[in-house]
A and B are shown apart, each in its own frame.
Chain A
Amino acid sequence: MSAIVLKTHGMTHVGKVREANEDAMIVDPRWGLYAVLDGMGGAMAGDVASNRARDVIHEYVRAKKKTLEPRALLEAAITAASSAVHGEAQARRDRQGMGTTLVMALFVDDNKAWVAHVGDSRAYLLRDGRLTQLTRDHTVVAELMAQGALSPAEAENHAYKNVLSRNLGAKAEARPDLLELELVAGDRLMLCSDGLYGYASTDATSGAVAWWARRQAFLGAARERGLARSPICAVLSPDEAIDIVAGNLAEAIFHDLEKSTGVNVWTYAENLAHGWFDQGGAWAPLAEMLDLLVGAAHAVVVAIAHEDQALALLVETAVQRAFTTAEMAVGGVLAERLRVTEGELIKAHTLVQTSVDESARFQETPTIPFMPAARPVADLASPEVRAHLQAVAQAARGVVGTGRVPARNVIDAIERAALDPVNATGSAIQARELYGVRALEESGVSPLFDALDQGRAAFVTALRRAGGDPQIAVAVMRRVASAQLALAAALAGLVVEGAAPISERLREATRETASLRAEVASNEARLADLERQYATRAAKPSMLPRLPRKPGGPS
């Protein structure tokens, strides 16, 4: 195939509402690197987040492109950027909550590109006159839809359809989705932020402006209600408490209303909750603070209602949505922390059980003929085992090649679950990602288990080829087998779960049929009764022919 000639172009515009451009981009034909980043959150820190992430990614790719495989390069560059943005957000109070979305393309060959994305910035491919969206938005609603919890129609009308489930900077690590793309001559690849595909509506903009114009009223109401006395603001002066806690929220609501998203409030609430829980704070003060802020926002809505009822309704809806989003985000943080605690408990419990079983086994069952002297067992958590596991996973990806995407996904899932064996919910999440959206038929389910077999076989092949210390190898195999077992059971569980509503609907249908049958039988009986009565009325003696008298019968 002849080499494809690339023509590239990039453009960004601040728009008519904002003062600072929160989008950033990379257009670097020399390194084949193109990216769009859409910053958000914090006190005017969206542009800081997107610019910081852009610089880190650009530097990383320039430094490592020649030495790393594209997938590893992209994952490492994105993680480095996320870590940098997160670190900067944690270091400065006025930047807490900042983050950015990212969509990037890396051209690695004359006709091959890798696309990576985090958040709701998108990549589109125009080929043969047909525009295809290559990326799936990392929004809460999109993830629910992928799991089958929402239909496309429900998702389209969902109040939180733009709330991001992943972004770059909210946490130190990021989970990008990657895609390898074969290009042909004439292809056009477009990377863009939501500013291009989902610009704000007039209503949203006027609502945003109305809210922003009354920002000071909101801060005043929060002050009156005693925000500065909250234990969460204990280390801040009263003015700082108002500016940082209430001011950032006011700004987050403004940005969300302006762009019809919930991401800014989500990030704000997550950071607030993380910061508070990290200090050992309890749930109650956080809930009280949110209630207090809801009250302050409601006071603003009442003030707007005196001037313009329609506008007040618009702002009230946005405010309610913002606080629901905040509660969801705080709930997510709590759930995450509970999972970690649960994992630690399981680990502690397993350690206790193992020690009890070991002693009991060796004391009580000494007569099994092939019982050996204790064989040194490689520590499951040792860095050598982890490193070997990662190397084997990489080799297993090589065994399945680039064509069999489901098998590669299985290898990724097994690797993740094997590296984090105490996280009981990890396998369920991996299984959900693998399951995606599929028909509940043999043709939909079998490929899933075929991929599981292929992934496991690739792991075993790679493990045998890798050689090395047998103790390390067997420790890796134990982890892989355990992870694979959990994954297979979780996948089967998902199928069973998916089949359950069908049985339930059958039971409902059976009940309804029985009810209809009963009604028909009852009507039948009533009709028979009526017919009998009718026949009795109609058959008056004068109207009936006289029956012939039997000879010799009674007169």
Chain B
Amino acid sequence: MSLADRVMVLRDEVLDTVERGDGDPPGTDVFDAIVRALAAHGETAPGLDLTLHDAIARRLAWGDTEEVLLADADQVVHRLARAVERALRDPLEEMVVLEVAAEVTTAVARIVALAAVGRAQRDRAARSREELAQKRLREALAEQRATLIRFDRG
């Protein structure tokens, strides 16, 4: 049984499915990413985990805040650390899990941060559009006021 398979057995404990249900409890995306990274550990160089990226983007799109995503990741990693400390016999295997968990954590933080940056850039662009619209509206207002003054005098 590979290390990834053995960590997969800890899913219910780490995600606390007893309390939160086993459908899609918070932090599933992070736990799955850790298992995927463990499956590839030592075999391939870690690259961009698009599945994790999509999962986080989806949760943001559904209205979860960045703080919630980071808190979920934090909880999953802490629960996983405690679970592997109990469950794995070999300290070196525990080190591998912790290393991979730290790697995934950085990936989550990076994705969340870049999502915030992306949103900031979109907001900046939207604000520029708003300011342009405001400029045109102010011009229109100035013309309207001039016309109103003419009406008042006439």
**Contact of A449 with B109 at beta-carbon distance under 8 Å, contacts A474-B95, A482-B81 already known:** yes
- The reply to whether A481 and B102 contact each other, CB–CB distance below 8 Å, is yes
**Contact of A489 with B119 at beta-carbon distance under 8 Å, contacts A473-B95, A502-B124, A513-B130 already known:** no
Chain A residue numbers with a CB within 8 Å of B126 are 506
Chain B residue numbers with a CB within 8 Å of A369 are 9
Whether A332 sits at the interface, judged by CB under 8 Å, is no
Q: Quote the shortest CB–CB distance from A138 to chain B (angstroms).
A: 28
**Contact of A481 with B134 at beta-carbon distance under 8 Å, contacts A503-B123, A506-B127, A526-B148 already known:** no
The 24 sampled A-B contact pairs (Cβ below 8 Å) are A375-B91, A441-B121, A442-B117, A442-B118, A452-B109, A456-B103, A471-B91, A473-B91, A478-B85, A481-B77, A481-B98, A481-B102, A485-B77, A489-B109, A495-B116, A496-B113, A496-B116, A506-B126, A513-B130, A516-B134, A520-B141, A520-B144, A523-B141, A524-B144
Docked complex Cα distance between A441 and B116 (Å): 10
- The reply to whether A492 and B66 contact each other, CB–CB distance below 8 Å, is yes
Q: Quote the shortest CB–CB distance from B92 to chain A (angstroms).
A: 6
Whether A534 sits at the interface, judged by CB under 8 Å, is yes
**Contact of A445 with B141 at beta-carbon distance under 8 Å, contacts A485-B77, A489-B74, A510-B130 already known:** no
Q: How many residues of A contact B (CB 8 A)?
A: 61
Residue from the list B70, B78, B114, B140 in contact with A520, Cβ < 8 A: B140
Chain B residue numbers with a CB within 8 Å of A463 are 95
- The reply to whether B141 and A492 contact each other, CB–CB distance below 8 Å, is no
Chain A residue numbers with a CB within 8 Å of B105 are 481, 484-485, 488-489
Whether B110 sits at the interface, judged by CB under 8 Å, is yes
Docked complex Cα distance between A386 and B75 (Å): 25
Whether B67 sits at the interface, judged by CB under 8 Å, is yes
Whether A509 sits at the interface, judged by CB under 8 Å, is yes
Docked complex Cα distance between A401 and B140 (Å): 62
Docked complex Cα distance between A519 and B140 (Å): 10
Q: List A residues 333-382 near B (Cβ within 8 Å).
A: 357, 361, 365, 368-372, 375, 377
- Name B119's closest neighbour in chain A (CB-CB): A499
Q: List B residues 50-93 near A (Cβ within 8 Å).
A: 66-67, 70, 73-74, 77-78, 81-82, 85-89, 91-92
Chain B residue numbers with a CB within 8 Å of A453 are 103, 106
Chain B residue numbers with a CB within 8 Å of A482 are 78, 81
Q: List A residues 137-156 near B (Cβ within 8 Å).
A: none
Whether A194 sits at the interface, judged by CB under 8 Å, is no
Chain A residue numbers with a CB within 8 Å of B81 are 478, 481-482
Chain A residue numbers with a CB within 8 Å of B33 are none
Whether A236 sits at the interface, judged by CB under 8 Å, is no
Chain A residue numbers with a CB within 8 Å of B112 are 492, 495-496
Whether A6 sits at the interface, judged by CB under 8 Å, is no
- The reply to whether A484 and B116 contact each other, CB–CB distance below 8 Å, is no
- Residues of A whose CB lies within 8 Å of any CB of B are 357, 361, 365, 368-372, 375, 377, 440-442, 445-446, 448-449, 452-453, 456, 460, 463, 470-471, 473-474, 477-478, 480-482, 484-486, 488-489, 491-493, 495-496, 498-499, 502-503, 505-506, 509-510, 512-513, 516-517, 519-520, 523-524, 526-527, 530, 534
Chain A residue numbers with a CB within 8 Å of B138 are 516
- The reply to whether A368 and B9 contact each other, CB–CB distance below 8 Å, is yes
- Name B147's closest neighbour in chain A (CB-CB): A527
Q: List B residues 3-30 near A (Cβ within 8 Å).
A: 6, 9, 13
Q: Quote the shortest CB–CB distance from A22 to chain B (angstroms).
A: 46
**Contact of A513 with B106 at beta-carbon distance under 8 Å, contacts A489-B74, A492-B113 already known:** no
Docked complex Cα distance between A219 and B112 (Å): 58
Interface of A is mostly: helix
- The reply to whether A492 and B148 contact each other, CB–CB distance below 8 Å, is no
Q: How many A-B residue pairs have CB under 8 A?
A: 175
- The reply to whether B106 and A449 contact each other, CB–CB distance below 8 Å, is yes
- Residues of B whose CB lies within 8 Å of any CB of A are 6, 9, 13, 66-67, 70, 73-74, 77-78, 81-82, 85-89, 91-92, 94-95, 98-99, 101-103, 105-106, 108-110, 112-114, 116-121, 123-124, 126-127, 130-131, 133-134, 137-138, 140-141, 144-145, 147-148, 151, 154
- The reply to whether B117 and A445 contact each other, CB–CB distance below 8 Å, is yes
- The reply to whether B120 and A499 contact each other, CB–CB distance below 8 Å, is yes
Residue from the list A361, A365, A481, A491 in contact with B109, Cβ < 8 A: A491
- The reply to whether A477 and B127 contact each other, CB–CB distance below 8 Å, is no
- The reply to whether B102 and A513 contact each other, CB–CB distance below 8 Å, is no
- Name B135's closest neighbour in chain A (CB-CB): A516
Chain B residue numbers with a CB within 8 Å of A377 are 85
- The reply to whether A480 and B137 contact each other, CB–CB distance below 8 Å, is no
Docked complex Cα distance between A519 and B70 (Å): 43
Docked complex Cα distance between A471 and B94 (Å): 10
Chain B residue numbers with a CB within 8 Å of A524 are 144
Beyond known contacts A370-B6, A446-B110, A477-B95: 11 more, CB 8 A cutoff? A370-B9, A452-B106, A456-B102, A481-B102, A485-B78, A492-B110, A492-B113, A499-B116, A509-B127, A510-B130, A513-B137
Residue from the list B113, B119, B137, B151 in contact with A449, Cβ < 8 A: B113
Chain A residue numbers with a CB within 8 Å of B144 are 520, 523-524, 527
